[in-house]
Amino acid sequence: MERVDRLERLTDLVLVLLREGSARSLRQIALEVPGYPERAEARRQAFERDKRTLRDEGVEITTEKIDGPDQVGYRIRPEDFYLPDLDLSAEEQAALNLAVAGVHLGDPSGRDALWRLGLPGASASPPIADVPALPELPVLYEALRRHATVHLRYRGEDRHIDPARLLFRHGRWYLVGHDRDRDAPRVFRVDRFEAMPRAGAEGSARLPEGFDAEGALPDDPWRFGEGQPVIVDVLVDAPMARLVVERDVDEAAVVERRGDGSVVVRLEATNVLALRSWVLGLGRHAEVLSPPEVRDDMVRWLESMLADPGPVVGPAARSVVGEGQP
295-to-225, 302, 308, 317 alpha-carbon distances in Å: 20, 11, 21, 11
What integer pLDDT is reported at residue 106 of this predicted model? Answer: 53
**Could you say which residues of the chain have pLDDT below 50?**
1-2, 102, 108-110, 115-117, 119, 121-125, 127-130, 310-326
The four Cα atoms 278, 283, 289, 293 give a dihedral, to 10 degrees, of 60
What integer pLDDT is reported at residue 320 of this predicted model? Answer: 44
What integer pLDDT is reported at residue 91 of this predicted model? Answer: 66
CB 189 within 8 A of CB 197: no
What integer pLDDT is reported at residue 87 of this predicted model? Answer: 67
CA-CA distance, 322 to 309, in Å (whole number)?
18
* Tally of CB atoms within 10 A around 240: 19
What integer pLDDT is reported at residue 159 of this predicted model? Answer: 94
What integer pLDDT is reported at residue 115 of this predicted model? Answer: 46
- Which pairing describes strands 129-130 and 103-104: parallel, antiparallel, or unpaired? parallel
What integer pLDDT is reported at residue 260 of this predicted model? Answer: 93
CA-CA distance, 56 to 49, in Å (whole number)?
11
The four Cα atoms 315, 319, 323, 326 give a dihedral, to 10 degrees, of -100
What integer pLDDT is reported at residue 123 of this predicted model? Answer: 47
128-to-100, 104, 124, 172, 237 alpha-carbon distances in Å: 10, 8, 12, 16, 34
CA-CA distance, 241 to 258, in Å (whole number)?
11
Q: Is the dihedral of CA 188, 230, 267, 181 positive or negative?
A: positive
